[in-house]
């Protein structure tokens, strides 16, 4: 009787979270939802329901360096840690296949909380793709201090363009560029896109709900908007002790606002 009660509730939680959670995160989500369950119990019921966690996809190379461009130094130096929001951002973009052709998606992620602060989807990978993502990041962080934030990317020509570097200067951000063709120099951005591809773009359960492959820019853009909101507000991140980016930032600002003990 207990299994009969838990099975539909676990499946509903799994589907609500883009059908990507394995037993560990589904157990965490279930307990967060008020269900008294153990990890082994969840694993057994997942097998009964024939549901499983998603396997992370690999990112393919999309950006091309401009050999004539002057590149900023690498200020990140593979140190993807921060003690507060708006100290370090990482930027990158990838491509997605749709029925009507390739769609490119750019993200900017805050290193401290893993929150996606800016994104853009477009049919071309021109500079406007990454520039619009940067403008969204600046708008998202309006009212907070972003002076001096390191904005790190690979050496793609879009990120070394005059328009992009001028916009970084306007918002008082410090440009940072990794070496050419080395994914480890922008590992966190690579990781976010691997999750994006696994949890949304190539997720069989999500495609089934969508009625098949993405038709084009419009429906992929709508789906990406929903995924980003879930990623920031609801998704449990193992790197954040199974908190969400929103919870990590709320906790940071809550502690900042508390007066020091006498």
Paired strand residues for 143: none
DSSP 8-state class, residue 38: -
What pLDDT is attached to residue 2?
85
What pLDDT is attached to residue 64?
57
Which run of H or E residues covers position 26?
Answer: helix 23-32
199: left (phi over 0), alpha (psi -120 to 50) or beta: alpha
On average, the pLDDT of the chain sits at 88
For residue 260, is pLDDT > 70?
no
Pick from 1, 3, 88, 97: which is nearest to 44 by CA?
3
What pLDDT is attached to residue 212?
73
- Which residue is associated with the tokens 């006498």? 262
Strand order in the sheet with 174-177: 116-122, 101-110, 88-98, 150-153, 174-177
DSSP 8-state class, residue 242: T
What number of residues does the chain have? Answer: 262
Pick from 195, 187, 174: which is nearest to 237 by CA?
195
CA distance 154 to 125: 14
What pLDDT is attached to residue 180?
60
To the nearest whole percent, how much of the chain has pLDDT over 90?
Answer: 56
What torsion, rounded to 10 degrees, do the Cα atoms 218, 99, 228, 137 define? -60
CB 127 within 8 A of CB 161: yes
For residue 261, is pLDDT > 50?
no
CB 117 within 8 A of CB 141: yes
CA distance 74 to 154: 9
CB 223 within 8 A of CB 199: no
Say what the pTM is: 0.83
Please measure the distance between the N-terminal and C-terminal CA atoms of the chain and give it in whole angstroms: 55
Q: What is the mean pLDDT of residues 127-142?
A: 97
């Amino acid at each position: 009787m207990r299994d009969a009660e838990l099975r539909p509730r676990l499946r509903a939680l799994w589907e609500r979270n883009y059908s990507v959670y394995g037993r560990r995160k589904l157990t965490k989500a279930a307990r967060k939802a008020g269900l008294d369950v153990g990890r082994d119990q969840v694993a057994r019921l997942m097998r009964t329901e024939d549901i499983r966690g998603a396997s992370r996809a690999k990112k393919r190379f999309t950006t091309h360096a401009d050999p004539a461009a002057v590149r900023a130094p690498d200020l990140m130096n593979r140190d993807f840690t921060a003690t507060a929001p708006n100290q370090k951002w990482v930027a990158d973009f990838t491509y997605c296949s749709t029925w009507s052709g390739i769609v490119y998606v750019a993200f900017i992620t805050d290193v401290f909380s893993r929150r996606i602060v800016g994104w853009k989807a477009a049919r071309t990978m021109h500079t406007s793709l990454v520039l619009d993502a940067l403008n969204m990041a600046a708008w998202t962080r309006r009212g907070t201090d972003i002076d001096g934030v390191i904005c790190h990317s690979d050496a793609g020509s879009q990120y070394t363009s005059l328009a992009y570097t001028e916009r970084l200067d306007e918002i008082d951000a410090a440009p940072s560029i990794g070496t050419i063709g080395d994914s480890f120099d922008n590992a966190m951005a690579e990781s976010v896109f691997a999750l994006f591809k696994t949890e949304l773009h190539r997720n069989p359960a999500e495609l089934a709900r969508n009625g098949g492959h993405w038709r084009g820019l419009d429906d992929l853009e709508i789906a990406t908007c929903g995924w980003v909101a879930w990623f920031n507000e609801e998704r449990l991140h193992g790197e954040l002790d199974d908190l969400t980016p929103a919870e990590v930032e709320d906790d940071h600002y809550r502690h900042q606002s508390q007066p020091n003990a006498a």
